[in-house]
Amino acid sequence: MENSCGWIAQTQSLPARAPLSGTHQADWLVIGAGITGLCAAHSLAQLHPQARIVLLDRQRAAQGASARNSGFVVAHEYPGADELMGRGGFAGYEVDCAISQAATQEVRKRVATHHIDCDFRDSGYYFAVHDRDKLEQVEARLATLHAAGAAAHFVQGEALRHTLGTAHYQAAIWCGNGNALLQPAKYVTGLLQALPANVTLFENSPVTGLEPMAHGAIRANAVNGSVEARQVLVCLNAFIPRVGLDHSASFPMELSASLTRPLTDEEYRQMGTVEPWGVLSTRPLGATVRLTPDRRVMIRNTAEYRTRDLSNRELLQRRRHHVQGLQRRFPWLDEQDIHYSWTGHLSATRSGQPYFAKVRDGLYAVAGCNGAGVARGSLWGRLLAEWASGHTSPLLQSVIQRAQPGWLPPRPLFDLGALLRMRVEAVRARSEI
Ligand SMILES: Cc1cc2nc3c(=O)[nH]c(=O)nc-3n(C[C@H](O)[C@H](O)[C@H](O)COP(=O)(O)OP(=O)(O)OC[C@H]3O[C@@H](n4cnc5c(N)ncnc54)[C@H](O)[C@@H]3O)c2cc1C
C-alpha cells in the first residue's frame, strides 16, 4: 500500500524548486524546510532584507512531519501528576504554557500575515478518555489549567456524546484559550508560498555534513553541491543527526495515521450534526482523533521508537490498528472507508524539553518538538533567527533556560530501554487506542 498523507493530497502543490548543484555562497543558510525552518527563513528575511538566505531540504519542502501531523496547535499540554498546582513541577508547567501560548500566537500571526487558508479553528480541543479511571484528579487538573491561563471545563456522559457524536468517550476536559486546530499541510504550504524573494530554496538536496572553513564560514555539503555561509540554522527535528549533530539528546519516533472518506449526510445526521473537533489522549500512546471540517475522521494511534523506517507492508498492519480505533468510535466505518494512510517522524526527548542551542559560533540548532512543534516550531524558527542575529528578549531567555532535553544512555542500552518503555506505555493506553 502507498504511504500517502491525506492532508498533503488535499493541498494544492507548488511547482518544484531545483536541487542544489555547484558551490553557493550565502549570508545565512537554513537547513530543513518544515515549519521551523520556514519560520526561521521568514524571520531572517525580515531582519536582514538585503541578505542572501538559502534554504535546503532533502525532499520537497513542506512535506515532512510539518504537513503530516494531526494539526493540534498546542498552548496547554495535559498537566502531569507532578505538574499540578502545589506540586514541584507546577512552576515549570506554568513557564511552558506561557511559551506555548506565545507559540500559538506566532501561528495566528503567520496565518493572518500571509493570509494562509488552513482551516484554522480557534475552538480548543478535548483531553478525552474511554476509561473513566484514565482521567484522575479532575478538579486539580482544571485548577492547574486555569492557573496556567487556559479556559477549561469538565464534560462527561450524554453531554460529551452529543458534542463528539460518539459514545466511545466517557469523560473529557475541554481546553481552550490558545489551543486550536488547523490543516497542517495547508499551513506549512502557506508558509512556503509566502517566502520572500531573498530566500532561495533548493529542494531534493539532502545535506550530508557540515564543515568548518578557515575563514570562519561553515560549508554544508549536499549530494551534488555545497553552500558556504557565515551563519547556519539547523531545523531538522528528527533528522538532526544527519548533518553530524549527534549530541542533541533527542531521538526519533515514527507515527502513523489514517484519514477516512467524508461521512455521508445520513451518517453525519445520526451523529447529531456535531461541530468539527479534536481529541487528545491523556496517555502518551493513546489515540489522537479529529472530525475535520469536511467531515472526515482522522486517527493517529501508533507511535514507535524504531531503528529503521516502517515499510509499506508494516504501514498496512498499522492501518488495521487505525481501523480498530475507528470502529471503537464509529462502528460503521471499515477499512475501505480509509482514503489515506501515512507515517511521519517526530523528535522526542527524555525530559519533554527541546534541544535549542548555539552549537558554536555561527551554528544554531533546534530539535525535540515532542509532538507539539506546529506551534513551538513556528516560535522556535523566529527565536533561533533572532538569537543568531544577536537579538534577545525575555521569551528567548525563557526558551533557552527551559531547553534541557535530559540525558540519554548510549545505544544499544537506549534502544532496549526505549522499547521496554514503549511496551509499558502501550499497555497503559490499551483502553484509549
Ligand atoms: C503523525 C504526527 C502527528 C503529529 N501531531 C502533532 C500535532 O497535532 N501538533 C503538533 O504540534 N505537533 C504534532 N506533531 C509534531 C510536528 O509535526 C512537528 O513537531 C513539526 O512538524 C516539527 O517541524 P520541523 O520543521 O521542526 O520538523 P520537520 O517538519 O520534520 O522538518 C524537517 C525538515 O528537514 C528535512 N530534512 C531531513 N533531513 C535533511 C537533510 N539531511 N538535509 C536537508 N533537509 C533535511 C525534512 O525533509 C523536513 O522537511 C506530529 C508529528 C507526526 C509525525
pLDDT in tens, 271-285: 998 999 999 999 999
Reported as type and span, the H/E element at residue 170 is: none
Q: If pLDDT is split at 50, 70 and 90, which confidence band does 90 have?
A: very high
Q: Looking at residues 89-106, what average pLDDT do you find?
A: 98
**What pLDDT is attached to residue 273?**
87
- What are the residue boundaries of the structural domains of the chain, listed by start? 6-68+186-249+351-417
| pLDDT at residue 1 is higher than 90 | no
Mention every residue, 6+ apart, whose C-beta is less than 8 A from residue 343. Answer: 3, 68, 254, 255, 256, 257, 309, 310, 315, 318
CB crowding 132-151: b at 16 or more within 10 Å, else e: eebbeeeeebbbbbebbebe
| pLDDT at residue 176 is higher than 90 | yes
**What pLDDT is attached to residue 290?**
98
| pLDDT at residue 227 is higher than 90 | yes
Ligand 1 center–CA 271 separation, angstroms: 33
Q: Which one-letter amino acid corresponds to residue 388? A: A
Ligand 1 center–CA 104 separation, angstroms: 17
Nearest-CA residue for ligand 1 atom 21 is 66
**What pLDDT is attached to residue 194?**
98
**What pLDDT is attached to residue 233?**
98
Ligand 1 center–CA 32 separation, angstroms: 9
Ligand 1 center–CA 236 separation, angstroms: 8
Q: Looking at residues 52-80, what average pLDDT do you find?
A: 98
Q: Looking at residues 128-150, what average pLDDT do you find?
A: 97
Nearest-CA residue for ligand 1 atom 11 is 372
pLDDT in tens, 317-331: 999 999 999 999 999
Total residues belonging to the chain: 433
- Pocket test residue of 14, 60, 239 for ligand 1, highest count of atoms within 8 A of CB: 239
pLDDT in tens, 237-253: 999 999 999 999 999 99
Answer yes or no: pTM beyond 0.95: yes
Roughly how many angstroms between the first and final C-alpha of the chain, as a whole number? Answer: 22
Question: Ligand 1 pocket, 72 CB below 6 A?
Answer: yes
Distance CA 433, CA 418 (A): 20
Interhelix angle 184-193/90-113, nearest 10 degrees:
60
**What pLDDT is attached to residue 137?**
97
Mean pLDDT estimate for the chain: 97
Residue the block writes with cell 460529551: 160
Q: Looking at residues 352-361, what average pLDDT do you find?
A: 97
**What pLDDT is attached to residue 395?**
98
Percent of the chain, pLDDT > 90? 96
Give one DSSP letter per residue of 348-370, joined into a string: EESSSPPEEEEEETTEEEEE--T
CA distances from 92 to 72, 105, 146, 351, 399 (A): 22, 20, 15, 12, 11
The answer to whether the CB of 70 falls within 8 A of the CB of 125 is no
Nearest-CA residue for ligand 1 atom 31 is 34
Mention every residue, 6+ apart, whose C-beta is less than 8 A from residue 91. Answer: none
| pLDDT at residue 186 is higher than 90 | yes
pLDDT in tens, 18-62: 999 999 999 999 999 999 999 999 999 999 999 999 999 999 999
Q: Residue 136 is placed in which grid cell?
A: 484522575
CATH of domain 6-68+186-249+351-417: 3.50.50.60
